[in-house]
Structure 1
Amino acid sequence: MKWLGWPLALTLAMTASGARASQQYEPLADSVRAALHLAISDRAAPDLPAFSSPQKQMWLNTMSERLAKRMPDDTGRMEFLKTVHYEATRAGLDPQMVLGLIQVESGFRKYAVSTAGARGYMQVMPFWVKLIGSEDSNLFHLRTNLRFGCTILRHYLDIEKGNLFRALGRYNGSLGRPEYPNLVRGAWERHWSWPEITAASSP
């Protein structure tokens, strides 16, 4: 995959101001809509106790240290990271990439709302609730927001046959432009890289 370079100063400015675009509404075939609805509702996350393997516990501790300044509350930060890991892995995504996306989208602000109306950590557009959710889907709820966001990005990855650059463009509503994919990649590589655990790991 070829990633296009982008000036660092502009990248940092865009990160600070947040991503301005958002997912675009596209009619879905009934079969796709049903599959996405199932992905959203199926297999509720467990209580997420402390990670059982030393490797996963090391991941949690390392990411917690990196995130501490942005999320000072220890309990909330741990719950957030465990849920990110679970939902990303469940959708076949790299948890570190998802952390990079959240950094760009919301700056780790739970109640972030964009000018287009996108909500929460992963800046999910409300139309997704009508398309694949239910009446009680609250996009400001941690697990709901991450499940929607990861499921939507997985959907875009499938459409783009695994091309993450193009999938990220779809997620941001800027398909074909390099700015947003490079922002996510930059945040991922600079702040959240972790080679030992990948999306292939079990949740």
Structure 2
Amino acid sequence: MRPLAKKVFSLIRAVSLLLFGGLLGAPTLATEQGPVDPKLRQLLQEAVSDNHSFNDRFHAEVWLVDMSRRLESRMPDTRKRLDLLKQIHVEAKRAGLWPELVLAVIEVESNFDRFAISSAGAMGLMQIMPFWLDEIGQPGDNLFDIRTNLRMGCTILKYYLDKENGNLTPALARYNGSYGSHRYTTKIYTALDNRWRRY
């Protein structure tokens, strides 16, 4: 077997183990602190208690293999990479977002560093402000926990997307706390086009 074919075969096998072997158990700013919108608080409360997983395993396997190759240079550990990608896919779909968009947001926000902390105090992959834990606080919540961070980040981004009637540019700017500026959204679109978009 050729080296490339062997590598792809190993990756597909790892994805299959992740999907069928049950390896998974059970925001820059994401929003500026200030008066908390009651609707957003309610959406986050519902989100943190929701359990969801892949429904279409074939689609999931194809997507995971493709995205795993794209993420490999940033995250060489195959198991960790696939675990993260599965969680991103699940949380993006649960919120009604494209998983590729969430990957672009994570790239720009934290460069896939789950322990990233911004100068403003935003934490984790999607850079969630810690005041959200006070607002919706469930015991044991931790913004460095991948699932918690992704669930909150995806819920917040979808909230802003709905608020902007599906217009992604101002929704991303609201997510980042840079409404009125195109600098952040340009970074997201560049990451999406250069690395994550599927044609």
- Per the TM superposition, whether the score is higher than 0.5 is yes
Contact in 1 for aligned 2:28/2:127 (Cα 8 Å): no
Which of residues 159, 163, 170 in structure 2 aligns to 1:159? 163
- 5+ long unaligned stretches in structure 1: 1-18, 196-203
Change (3 A) 1:66 1:32: closer
Name structure 2 gaps, 5 residues minimum: 1-26
1:177 and 2:181 aligned: yes
Q: Distance in 1 between matches of 2:29 and 2:57?
A: 39
Matched, 1:186 2:190: yes
The structure with the larger Rg is 2
Which residue in the other structure is 2:154 paired with?
Answer: 150
Q: Give the CA deviation at 1:134.
A: 1.8
Describe the shift of the 1:139–1:21 C-alpha distance in structure 2 as closer, same or farther (beyond 3 A).
closer
Paired with 1:122 and 1:20, the residues of 2 have a C-alpha distance of 7
Partner Cα distance (1:118, 1:28) in 2: 16
The 3-state SS of whatever aligns with 1:58 is helix
Q: Retained in 2: the 8 A contact 1:21–1:172?
A: yes
Pick from 41, 51, 60 the counterpart of residue 49 of structure 2.
Answer: 41
Please tell me the residue identity of whatever aligns with 2:153: G
What does residue 85 of structure 1 align with? 89
The 8 Å contact of residues 113 and 119 in structure 1, kept in 2 or not, is answered as: yes
| 1:28 match | 36
Does residue 52 (structure 1) correspond to residue 60 (structure 2)? The answer is no
Q: Taking structure 2 as the reference length, what is the TM-score of the superposition?
A: 0.80
Structure 1 CA distance, aligned partners of 2:75 and 2:117?
A: 18
Q: What whole-Å deviation, never above 9, does each CA across 1:139-188 have from its counterpart, x for those lacking one?
A: 00111110010011111112222111111101111001000011001101
More relative contact order, 1 or 2 (CA 8 Å, 6+ apart) = 1
Q: Is the 8 A contact 2:125 2:150 kept in 1?
A: yes
8 Å contact kept, 2:123–2:130: yes
Aligned to 2:102, the other structure's residue is in SS state: helix
Q: 1:106 to 1:29 in 2, by over 3 A?
A: closer
Specify the code of the residue in structure 2 equivalent to 1:39. Answer: A
Deviating beyond 4 angstroms after TM superposition, the runs of 4 or more aligned structure 1 residues are 19-22
**How much has 1:93 moved relative to structure 2?**
0.5
**Cα offset for 1:117?**
0.7
Distance (Å, rounded) in 1 between the aligned partners of 2:86 and 2:125: 14
CA distance in 2, matches of 1:31, 1:193: 31
Give the helix-richer structure, 1 or 2: 2
1:76 corresponds to which of 80, 90, 94:
80
- Whether the 8 Å CA contact 1:40–1:133 is kept in 2: the answer is no
Q: Which whole-Å deviations, capped at 9, do the CAs of 1:53-76 have from their partners, x for residues lacking one?
A: 1x3312111110111111111100
Distance 2:29 2:43 in 1: 26
Inter-partner Cα distance in structure 1 for 2:128 and 2:40: 18
